[in-house]
Structure 1
């Protein structure tokens, strides 16, 4: 079960022209924005990565405008976990539940999930907030992560699981985000 004090959100490589090439990118961008806004409502930390930003470009404005002042972690390895700066940033949070959104599902998201699971983290893949260039590759990536022990979830399920009750003071904020 996700908990506010153990969860962190990882936003993987939603950047440049690659983001524009994603299957069903409208839903990807919308759900990524919702999960980021919801996580921020709970004051849960997030980490953002960019794959070789000098070549692929920065995080797209639709996403980057949600975390102004935050510097994404640049990486070359497909798995975020293979980047020492990422590992150090994650370890400093002390959190063990990693929510994942980003691209591409069958490459960077999958390899990161696999490495996080091997290191003992609980991994939750926000399935409606990840994508690949093809729907089939997205499906395969989700299956590989599930087979490896990752937990598939969706934007609204995450936000309401963290909320726990409609009596919460944050209910109206979360409801506005998801409607």
Structure 2
């Protein structure tokens, strides 16, 4: 079992917004409430270990400012959002790596390994992982902290990520990695 270097690791959570979780009510293989619960446990575990967490929300630039602000609200508990080790960003494209401030954060913090979770496995999670891998980061996808509209989309994305070089784990194994 690999051990994580706490100084060079980051948890990156993609698109856990209430409206997206509601749209995914029939998601597979994990229900949205289960994904949210798993992510909250991971964020708690990671931040308690002194590892930073970045939570990213997605919106559209064409929306009026008030609607954009409302749509970027995260479903994660306020206690977790206010933790000193938690940073939030907004993205306008599927990949979180398109956020210049996130790329700066990764560089400033000397991040080498990104633990990746969120929705949906075949879009935001997949495209972020692909971009991070292309940029030379190690990527660990927490398979049980992500979901898609169908089991097939989830499984295909996980297999493609493995082929690209991502490590696939479940949240249970993270305890041993920290």
TM-score by length of 2: 0.83
User: 2: distance between equivalents of 1:102 and 1:44?
Assistant: 18
User: 1: distance between equivalents of 2:55 and 2:106?
Assistant: 11
User: 1: distance between equivalents of 2:155 and 2:59?
Assistant: 25
Q: Which residue of 2 aligns with 1:52?
A: 59
Structure 1 spans left out of the alignment, 5+ residues:
163-179
Q: Which residue of 1 aligns with 2:36?
A: 29
How far residue 64 of structure 1 moved from its aligned partner, in angstroms, is: 4.7
Cα deviation, 1:12-54, whole Å, max 9, x if unaligned, reads 1111311223311122112111111100110101111110171
Q: Which residue of 1 aligns with 2:21?
A: 19
1:34-113 equivalences under 5 Å are 34-52=41-59, 54=68, 56-60=71-75, 62-68=76-82, 72-113=88-129
User: 1: distance between equivalents of 2:21 and 2:77?
Assistant: 11
SS of aligned partner of 2:127: helix
TM-score by length of 1: 0.83
SS of aligned partner of 2:7: coil
Task: Please tell me whether the aligned partners of residues 72 and 90 of structure 2 are also in contact (alpha carbons under 8 angstroms).
Answer: no
Cα deviation, 1:29-84, whole Å, max 9, x if unaligned, reads 12111111100110101111110171744111x44541226552111111111221
Structure 2 spans left out of the alignment, 5+ residues:
61-67
SS of aligned partner of 1:5: helix
How far residue 127 of structure 1 moved from its aligned partner, in angstroms, is: 0.5
CA RMSD of aligned residues (A): 1.8
Q: Any runs of at least 4 consecutive aligned residues in structure 1 with deviations exceeding 4 A, and if so which?
A: none
Task: Please tell me whether the aligned partners of residues 7 and 51 of structure 2 are also in contact (alpha carbons under 8 angstroms).
Answer: yes
User: 2: distance between equivalents of 1:128 and 1:113?
Assistant: 16
1:140 aligns with 2:156: yes
